[in-house]
Amino acid sequence: MVLAELGKRISGALRSLTTATVIDEQLLDNILKEVCAALLASDVNVRLVQSLRKNIKKIVNLEELAAGVNKRRIIQKAIFDELCRLVDPGVEPFKPTKGRPNVIMFVGLQGSGKTTTCTKLAHYYQRKGFRAALVCTDTFRAGAFDQLKQNATKAKIPYYGSYTESDPVQLALDGVERFKSDGFDVIVVDTSGRHRQETELFAEMKQISAAVQPDNVILVLDGTIGQAADAHARAFRDTVPVGSIVITKMDGHAKGGGAISAVAATGSPIVFIGTGEHIQDLDVFKAQSFVSKMLGMGDLGGLMETVQDLKLENSNLVKNLEQGVFTLRSMQQQMSMMSSLGPLSRVAGMIPGMPPELASQLSDAQGSANLKRIMCMLDSMTDAELDSDGRLFYTQPSRIYRVARGSGVRVGDVEMLLMQTKKMGEMFKTMSGMSKMQQKLGV
């Protein structure tokens, strides 16, 4: 993700605060210059970058700061807060309530990832216990209904659409009515993304919105869109009451900054980001978590939420996280959970202290290929070994040979597992220290 590049540049600029002996106007200007250059290089809207710079200069008035105050901390916090403001319009996003129909209408240009995201969202709510359904109203693009049907069938989500009805407004009305009377909680309406003329597209959107009276309109923006995002977002906002934004394709080479600027253009919060083509590749977006993660500070909140989402509140893993204890048994529990946790790379990025390069290296395929082998090794260990942090193996190396023989792997593989456990243990210790930098910044 190119945003990692942005994060690296900004945290690099912030690091100069720690190494500098004197903190003066000149240093602040240099830092701000680098932060702004990094944001512009990521396609964040020029006006937003200028106002971010102005705001930080206003907050951090070095001349007026009393002697003895921690200038480093004030600068760090001002930059962190302004980065958060950039992605957070301060509006509480719409949340569906169970037991009544919540109609969510999707809008966005063709190719932005709308249809894919509709299914991801319905799946997301389905996992949270909502009865979710999909309605396809795209009568313009041949194959649109087939695509939605295919996605929905795979995810076992009820859907509505038609090969013969050519009026999208009628389709929307019929679909929503059907699912309402069937008692569905979340009804996701996908709309067309392309027409012969843009005016037709916007007119249709307006009519569908007037007909189904959505509780929320979600604008889907392609993360690779660049500076054009601002104008696109405004055009949609002027036509329909955009309530939330989803930014897609943030897994690839998206600079992301352009789409992020749409927050200011619409005043609507980003609610999710799309991080891949698969149904589970949808991450809840939270401004502070996003900025923390981007700056390599981890996202303990997000990690805890992911774990809690799996209803593992009482599991030892959560206890490990809280206490900063990590044994081989913790590793065993974590490995057996890994398949439901989703790609390791996603979880890894949330761990404070985990270098982003390492997080992205822990790819999905690699993770699943190693999983079985690791489980075999752990299954070959005794209770005493599992309850240790691994040091036991180094004082008695014969244990390493025994586990290797028992699980049919090489000695090097067992050593690698022990090293990984040690590393995880160190990370968990950092996490239980509750991301010290975040605390220091008072966030």
Binding residues for ligand GDP, per CB under 6 A? 108, 110-116, 193, 248-249, 251-252, 274-277, 281
Smallest distance, Å, CB 275 to ligand GDP?
6
Task: For ligand GDP, give the closer residue by CB, 42 or 191.
Answer: 191
If you search the block for the tokens 């605060």, which residue do you land on?
17
Task: For ligand GDP, give the closer residue by CB, 13 or 219.
Answer: 219
The residue number with the shortest CB distance to ligand GDP is: 274
The DSSP secondary structure of 66-132, one letter per residue, reads PTTS-HHHHHHHHHHHHHHHHH--S-PPP---TTS-EEEEEE--TTSSHHHHHHHHHHHHHHTT--E
If you search the block for the tokens 């009515």, which residue do you land on?
177
Smallest distance, Å, CB 273 to ligand GDP?
8
The enclosing H or E element of 152 equals helix 144-155
What would the two tokens of residue 337 be?
Answer: 């959970």
| Polymer length in residues for the chain | 443
Smallest distance, Å, CB 30 to ligand GDP?
36
Which amino acid is present at 431? M
Task: For ligand GDP, give the closer residue by CB, 87 or 219.
Answer: 219
Closest to 236 measured CA to CA, from 223, 221, 226: 221
Closest to 351 measured CA to CA, from 317, 377, 383: 317
- CB atoms under 10 Å from CB of 268, counted, come to 25
Smallest distance, Å, CB 364 to ligand GDP?
13
- Using CA of residue 173, residue 179, residue 180, residue 182, what is the dihedral sign? positive
Smallest distance, Å, CB 410 to ligand GDP?
36
Smallest distance, Å, CB 228 to ligand GDP?
16
Task: For ligand GDP, give the closer residue by CB, 18 or 197.
Answer: 197
Smallest distance, Å, CB 248 to ligand GDP?
4
Task: For ligand GDP, give the closer residue by CB, 290 or 326.
Answer: 290
Angle between helices 364-379 and 398-407 (to 10 degrees): 110
Task: For ligand GDP, give the closer residue by CB, 144 or 359.
Answer: 144
Q: What is the rounded (10 degree) CA torsion for 113, 116, 122, 125?
A: -70
Task: For ligand GDP, give the closer residue by CB, 275 or 380.
Answer: 275
Between β-strands 282-284 and 132-136, what pairing exists: parallel, antiparallel or unpaired?
Answer: unpaired
Angle between helices 114-127 and 144-155 (to 10 degrees): 20
How far is it between the farthest Cα atoms of the chain? Answer: 75
Task: For ligand GDP, give the closer residue by CB, 257 or 390.
Answer: 257
Smallest distance, Å, CB 336 to ligand GDP?
28
What would the two tokens of residue 86 be?
Answer: 């950039």
The alpha carbon of 247 is separated from its chain's Cα centroid by a whole number of angstroms, namely 10
Task: For ligand GDP, give the closer residue by CB, 45 or 115.
Answer: 115
The DSSP secondary structure of 315-366, one letter per residue, reads SHHHHHHHHT---HHHHHHHHHHHHHH--HHHHHTTSTT--HHHHHHS-HHH
Smallest distance, Å, CB 327 to ligand GDP?
36
Task: For ligand GDP, give the closer residue by CB, 191 or 320.
Answer: 191
Smallest distance, Å, CB 443 to ligand GDP?
27
Smallest distance, Å, CB 278 to ligand GDP?
9
Task: For ligand GDP, give the closer residue by CB, 52 or 107.
Answer: 107
Between β-strands 216-222 and 102-107, what pairing exists: parallel, antiparallel or unpaired?
Answer: parallel
Question: How does DSSP classify residue 45?
Answer: -
Q: Which residues contact 123 (CB under 8 A, 6 or more apart)?
A: 132, 155, 157, 279, 280, 282
